[in-house]
């Protein structure tokens, strides 16, 4: 994955898996069993870029498989599942070899898999849908041959995962993210030496823990620390660390980086045959162990029942469930009592196939396979059990009979086995909105298609996303292919849903859900919805969507991921607590003097390079084009700013290149100015042969050419020839040169004469350009930074690293520069698939209309640690106001239409509050705008009362809103104890 195209495709995943991801293209994985769980695991491995994926299944695709097997189309029914899945998976990633095998999983075949001509650095076998005898036989073979072995199984509402990576498995990097770094500020001489440091990437303090091993680099003065073997640290506080004896070292002078070192770990695992009797089960909470041990016995009992009866237990047949319980009693290995209710509940729906459960188990299995290949993160040790048996406690589900759940010959039979046929009809009538068609949105839509959500005559599924498909989306956004790049995500995703399930009534929108689209996504739209699934990636957008769901009392399922971590929150009207605002990210802005003259970390130089990009290739072009269109526009600016803008226009016109050679010469001159002259001037003002930096010059020349509409050239040899002809005068530092250390010092003083001179000269030059036949309109092309544009990243990386070298700051690679400057959130397909599966389990409960809080679950998980925590949401909070109890969901609703059909005034609102609730309003506000204040003078109060409600929004220049959320203060309240009030929602005509 070293080449540029591979990096562009897998960049978000590279941030999760680190250097280990480079092992993926030389790995081989066998996935046996291509129903729901196997399909999810195989799809994730193909999208992630595994070199060779072998699909094994001896069965034929059936109609019922389509309840969870999203790779199958109707035309595949009757064909071998592995062959049919291979065709679909091969389209997902052309860089992966996908092979189908339909024979027996014999030792001869497994040997050939391990010794195939394909040179693999890692071999992994994943079994799904396999009988226990086969699992043990293949598990023993893999353990003996050094093949990493995984079992993943989903039955009804429960899942099982097992890993055996052999007796000597080395984990190269057990933790998430990059190793911790901090900028050194001081190191004392002493025993112990004390290191004072500050964190990186906006962190105010360091993030080290006691016992972390660290190394030092770039330290000036106490150079003995540079390159030393890793030493342990002891944390004193957020800014200080204790290290070893530094008394014999030279005094610390300045700079330096302290970096965490992660040492490889060796782990040993038992084969399945032993681990069955001596299970090590991983749980998020110790109290979950008893339940997991009961499920461990239940899965073995299910295998025994299938061997005995030749089938799985029939849904809702008590005799079958009791027989499984009897078998479990004989197999139970836990020290405590068997949870018989769990075993019987599991058995009663074990014949069911649910897409959300398969998504969770399959995604976790794929992540374990990726651990085996990349040796990144700690493998599962060794069992994990997952269940959503709380769904069986739903009112209505408890009353289901065997007749309700018998197969109908439908694609939904696996779901009907759990929830009954009437529930399937209810699913078809649902009206849902999916906001965001990115990684999570794709997985939600795939699950909805399999579940049959909105697949009935009255159903309606709306997906909206403003974005278009990009190359970097393809490794984790299941519904897109390379042919879809630059197409609207929502349109492509909706078409993919229709292919998976033609009955789903899905509509694609390309809008943002926000104040500007309130006329579209308003009262009529939200009030007909049964639920909303959020797959948004900004806090602002999530907060607005939550406010809409609160306003219209619509259930909301909010999902999010970061790297291997995910979370899902359910917000159910009048039942759960509101989600509330998420913690805002810390302000990552840096002082001007730090960026310009005294950078200390790579973050400083990257931000400087980002500002340089905008100042060279975006703003000058925008100012030139605006001046050519309207030469009077600087009159709207303060004199000092106008002079600055016009001088920039003048420079741009004077520097206009004629051809590519001029662009290369400009880039060379700019390099000289930034990385030689400016540094020399700084050292002269503040006292204390590299190569030609071709990477920087090529990127800068390319962007300069693009901004001036000149075809760029990528020939480095040609550029080198041009550079050899460039002769620059020697730089002489200026005496008395002023370096601005604050933004106030940098402000350009007003100079009316200079402004008049510039305006006169530029107006004349503009007239000459307008009259020229060669002039194009607009004259220049502003270049806006795009994080997935290679040239943009090349320029910023080179500019940042050149500046870092000038200040003895350790440089960083292109990929890390891209992540930092573009603030990219690491992402991987396994996490998004798992979080979407967990969200869809909550959809089942919403469709049933569940009003029992104990049935709902929020989820937090970390696939890097194989930890899954599902917990009951907090109940809706309550408070007292004006003598009565209110829920956090309560709101006052007022149709702001007077008797004559016109919009109400502020006076009408005051009267309505008095008449309806008996409250005398003393202050009325919309956001920060005061609509009425009883403390104002009588004349002002009279004017306030006459105002129409919408006038304040119009005066503030905000998008037209038809629903206003008003806050108020009343005479009747106790201001000291009653800080919370039900909001007043005014619905305008």
Active site positions, annotated: 593
Is residue 296 helix, strand or coil? helix
Residues facing 918 on adjacent strands: none
**495 neighbors 846 (Cβ within 8 angstroms):** no
| CA count, 13 A, side-chain hemisphere, 883 | 6
**Cα angle value 420/426/431 (rounded, 5°):** 150
Q: How far apart are CA 569 and CA 572, in angstroms?
A: 10
| CA count, 13 A, side-chain hemisphere, 636 | 6
Pairing of strands 231-232, 169-171: unpaired
**832 neighbors 476 (Cβ within 8 angstroms):** yes
Strand arrangement, sheet containing 213-217: 231-232, 213-217, 257-261, 181-187, 194-199, 240-242, 234-237
Strand arrangement, sheet containing 892-895: 892-895, 984-987, 963-970, 921-926, 929-933
Q: How far apart are CA 28 and CA 737, in angstroms?
A: 63
How many C-beta atoms surround the C-beta of residue 732 within 10 A?
10
User: Tokens 């200080």, residue?
Assistant: 240
Residue 264 main-chain phi, psi, to 5 deg: -60, 150
**Cα angle value 248/254/259 (rounded, 5°):** 80
Count the residues in the chain: 989
DSSP symbol at 729 = P
Pairing of strands 892-895, 984-987: parallel
Strand ranges (E), 854-901: 858-862, 867-871, 878-881, 884-887, 892-895
CB proximity list for 899: less than 8 A, separation 6 or greater: none
Supply 268's token pair: 């040993």
User: Tokens 């209110």, residue?
Assistant: 886
Name the strand (E) or helix (H) holding 137: helix 132-145
Cα 848 to its chain centre, rounded Å, is: 30
DSSP symbol at 488 = B
Residue 394's Cβ-count burial label (10 Å; 0-12, 13-18, 19+) is buried
Q: Across the chain, which distance is largest between two alpha carbons, in Å?
A: 99
Please state whether the peptide bond connecting residue 775 to the residue before it is cis, i.e. omega within 30 degrees of 0.
no
Q: What is the CA radius of gyration of the chain?
A: 33
| CA count, 13 A, side-chain hemisphere, 672 | 14
| CA count, 13 A, side-chain hemisphere, 848 | 25
Strand ranges (E), 799-916: 858-862, 867-871, 878-881, 884-887, 892-895
Supply 394's token pair: 């739903």
Q: How far apart are CA 224 and CA 951, in angstroms?
A: 70
């Amino acid at each position: 994955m070293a080449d540029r195209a591979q990096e562009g495709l897998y960049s978000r995943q590279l941030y999760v898996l680190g250097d280990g991801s480079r092992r993926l293209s030389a790995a081989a994985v066998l996935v046996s069993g291509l129903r729901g769980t196997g399909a999810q695991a195989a799809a994730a491995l193909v999208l992630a870029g595994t070199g060779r994926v072998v699909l094994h299944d001896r069965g034929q695709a059936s109609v019922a498989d389509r309840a969870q097997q999203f790779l199958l189309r109707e035309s595949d029914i009757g064909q071998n599942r592995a062959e049919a899945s291979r065709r679909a998976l091969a389209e997902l990633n052309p860089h992966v070899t996908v092979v189908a095998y339909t024979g027996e999983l014999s030792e001869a075949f497994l040997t050939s898999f391990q010794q195939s001509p394909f040179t693999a650095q890692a071999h992994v076998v994943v079994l799904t849908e396999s009988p226990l005898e086969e699992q043990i036989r293949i598990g023993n073979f893999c353990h003996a041959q050094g093949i990493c072995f995984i079992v993943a199984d989903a039955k009804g509402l429960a899942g099982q995962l097992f890993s055996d990576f052999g007796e000597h498995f080395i984990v190269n990097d057990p933790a998430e993210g990059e190793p911790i770094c901090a900028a050194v500020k001081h190191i004392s001489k002493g025993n112990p030496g004390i290191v004072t440091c500050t964190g990186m990437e906006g962190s105010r303090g360091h993030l080290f823990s006691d016992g972390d091993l660290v190394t030092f680099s770039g330290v000036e003065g106490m150079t003995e620390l540079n390159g030393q073997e890793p030493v342990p640290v002891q944390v004193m506080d957020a800014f200080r660390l204790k290290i070893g004896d530094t008394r014999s070292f030279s005094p610390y002078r300045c700079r330096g980086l302290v970096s965490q070192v992660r040492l490889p770990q060796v782990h040993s695992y038992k084969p399945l045959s032993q681990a069955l009797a001596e299970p090590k089960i991983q749980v998020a909470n110790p109290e979950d162990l008893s339940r997991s041990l009961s499920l461990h016995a239940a899965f073995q009992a299910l295998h025994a029942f299938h061997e005995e009866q030749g089938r799985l237990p029939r849904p809702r047949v008590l005799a079958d469930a009791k027989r499984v319980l009897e078998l479990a009693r004989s197999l139970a290995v836990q020290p405590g009592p068997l949870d018989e209710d769990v075993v019987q509940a599991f058995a009663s729906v074990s014949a069911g196939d649910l897409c959300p459960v398969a998504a969770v188990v399959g995604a976790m299995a794929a992540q374990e396979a990726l651990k085996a290949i990349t040796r990144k993160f700690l493998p599962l040790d060794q069992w994990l059990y997952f269940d959503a048996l709380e769904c069986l406690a739903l009112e209505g589900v408890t009353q289901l009979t065997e007749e309700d759940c018998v197969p109908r010959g439908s694609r939904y039979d696996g779901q009907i086995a759990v929830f009954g046929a009437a529930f399937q009809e209810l699913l078809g009538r649902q009206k849902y909105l999916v906001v965001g068609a990115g990684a999570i949105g794709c997985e939600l839509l795939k699950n909805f298609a399999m579940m049959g959500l909105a697949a009935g005559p009255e159903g309606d599924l709306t997906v909206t996303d403003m974005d278009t498909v990009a190359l970097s989306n393809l490794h984790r956004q299941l519904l897109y292919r390379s042919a879809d790049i630059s197409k609207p995500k929502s349109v492509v995703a909706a078409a993919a849903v229709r292919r998976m399930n033609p009955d789903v009534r899905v509509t694609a929108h390309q809008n943002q859900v926000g104040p500007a689209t309130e006329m579209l996504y308003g009262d009529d739209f939200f009030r007909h919805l049964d639920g909303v699934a959020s797959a948004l990636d900004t806090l602002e957008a999530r907060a607005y969507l939550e406010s809409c769901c609160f306003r219209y009392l619509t259930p909301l399922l909010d999902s999010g991921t970061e790297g291997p971590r995910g979370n899902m929150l359910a917000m159910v009207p009048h039942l759960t607590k509101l989600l509330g605002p998420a913690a805002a990210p810390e302000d990552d802005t840096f002082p001007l003097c730090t960026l310009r003259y005294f950078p200390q970390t790579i973050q400083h130089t990257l931000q400087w390079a980002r500002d340089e990009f905008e100042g060279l290739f975006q703003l000058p072009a925008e100012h030139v084009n605006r001046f050519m269109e309207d030469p009077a526009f600087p009159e709207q600016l303060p004199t000092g700013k106008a002079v600055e803008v016009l001088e920039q226009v003048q420079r741009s016109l004077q520097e206009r290149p004629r051809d590519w050679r001029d662009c290369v010469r400009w880039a060379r001159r700019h390099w000289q100015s930034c990385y030689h002259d400016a540094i020399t001037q700084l050292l002269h003002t503040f006292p204390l042969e590299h190569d030609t930096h071709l990477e920087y010059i090529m990127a800068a020349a390319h962007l300069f050419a693009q901004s001036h509409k000149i075809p760029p050239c990528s020939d480095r040899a040609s550029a080198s020839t041009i550079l050899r002809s460039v002769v620059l005068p020697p730089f002489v530092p200026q005496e008395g040169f002023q370096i601005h250390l604050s933004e106030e010092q940098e402000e350009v003083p007003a100079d009316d004469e200079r402004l008049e001179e510039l305006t006169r000269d530029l107006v004349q030059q503009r007239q000459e350009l307008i009259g020229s036949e060669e002039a194009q309109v607009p004259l220049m092309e502003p270049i806006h930074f795009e994080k997935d544009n290679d040239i943009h990243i090349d320029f910023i990386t080179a500019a940042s690293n050149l500046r870092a070298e000038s200040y003895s700051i350790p440089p960083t690679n292109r990929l890390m520069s891209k992540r930092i400057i573009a603030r990219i959130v690491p992402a991987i397909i396994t996490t998004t698939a798992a979080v979407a599966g967990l969200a869809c389990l909550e959809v089942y409960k919403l469709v049933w209309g569940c009003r029992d809080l104990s049935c709902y679950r929020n989820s937090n998980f970390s696939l890097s640690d194989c930890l899954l925590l599902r917990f009951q949401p907090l109940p809706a909070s309550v408070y007292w106001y004006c003598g009565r109890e209110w829920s956090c969901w309560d709101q006052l609703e007022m149709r702001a239409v007077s008797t004559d059909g016109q919009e109400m005034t502020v006076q009408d609102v005051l009267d309505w509050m008095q008449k309806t609730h008996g409250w005398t309003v003393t202050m009325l506000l919309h956001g920060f705008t005061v609509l009425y204040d009883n403390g104002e003078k009588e004349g002002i109060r009279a004017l306030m009362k006459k105002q129409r409600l919408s006038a304040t929004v119009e005066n503030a220049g905000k998008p037209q809103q038809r629903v206003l959320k008003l806050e108020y203060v009343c005479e009747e309240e106790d201001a000291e104890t009653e800080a919370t009030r039900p909001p007043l929602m005014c619905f305008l005509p």
